[in-house]
Structure 1
C-alpha cells in the first residue's frame, strides 16, 4: 500500500515540476548530431563570410532538423572536434540558460516596462529566446540567442576548464552561468 502512495506522489511531483517550467527544456535532447552533421547544409566560407571552395570556415545550417527555429553552426575546419563537443553539450547548456531566464522572468516587472504598458504575460514573452548561431570560429566559442517576440538577443561564451565545458555570460569567461 505504501508503494502505491509513493508512486502516486512521485508522478504528481514530476508533473508539477514539468508544469512549473514555463520556458522550453530539452530542445536538443532527441537530436542525433552525428546525423545532423552529415545531413545539414554545409558551406565553406572565407573570413568575410563569402562562399568559396577553399574557405577555412565551415558553416552548417540545421534548419531542417528544428521545427521551431533555425540553428547555424560555424567552425574552422581544424576545430571540428571542438564543434562536435559543444554540440554534444548543447542541450544541458540550453537548459541552464532557460532556467536562468525563467528565474529572471519571475521577478517583478520593472517600472520602465510597466510604463510601456507591459502586462505579466507580455513581460514573460520577452524572455523567449532561441539559439541561433553556434560559432566555434571565434575565440572563445560562443552561442548567440535571438528573441522570439522582441528585437533583442544575447551571447553566451564557452570555455573548457578542468577538462569540462562551461558556459559564461562574459567574453573573458569569468562570470559562469550557474547550473
Structure 2
C-alpha cells in the first residue's frame, strides 16, 4: 500500500538530482556530477526494483510515471532558481544608444559595442553583454525599457577568460 507513495517520492527527488548532475556535467564539474550520479543510480535502482517486483500493480507504475513528470517540473524550477553560469547577449540596434550602454555599465554588466553594416550599407550597432544567469531578467528589463525594438540573441557560456567581469570578480574576492 505504501509502495506507490514511496515510488512517487523517489521519482520526485530523482529528477531534480538528474537536473543538477546534468548542469554540473555541462559546466565541466565532472567530479561533483559523478558523486551526484551515485545517488541518482541508487534511487533509480531502488524505485525500479519496487516497480519490477510486481508489474501487475498498476498503482506502482502510475506512481512512477507521475513522480517522473512532477520531478521534471521540480528540476526545471530548481534549474531556474539556481541559474548557474553565465550568459552573453548580443543586442542589435539601428541606432547607437549611449543611454543603454551607460546604464548597463552602471549596473555592473560587461559591455562591448561594435559598429557594423546592414543590408543597404546602413550602420548597425551591436552591444555584447556578459552577465551571470541570475541577472538575466534584470538585463532584459533594462533593454526592454531603453531599447524596446532591439533584436536580442543570447548564448550560454561554458567558460571564459579575461575581460571586465573577471576583473570585477577578483575585486570582490579581496
Asked if Structure 1 and Structure 2 have the same fold, meaning a TM-score greater than 0.5 normalized by the shorter chain, the answer is no
If each structure's helix is expressed as a fraction of its own residues, which one has the higher value? Answer: 2
If each structure's strand is expressed as a fraction of its own residues, which one has the higher value? Answer: 1
When Rg is computed on C-alpha atoms for both structures, the one with the higher figure is 2
**TM-score normalised over the length of structure 2:** 0.28
RCO higher in 1 or 2 (8 Å CA, sep ≥ 6)?
A: 2
**TM-score normalised over the length of structure 1:** 0.28
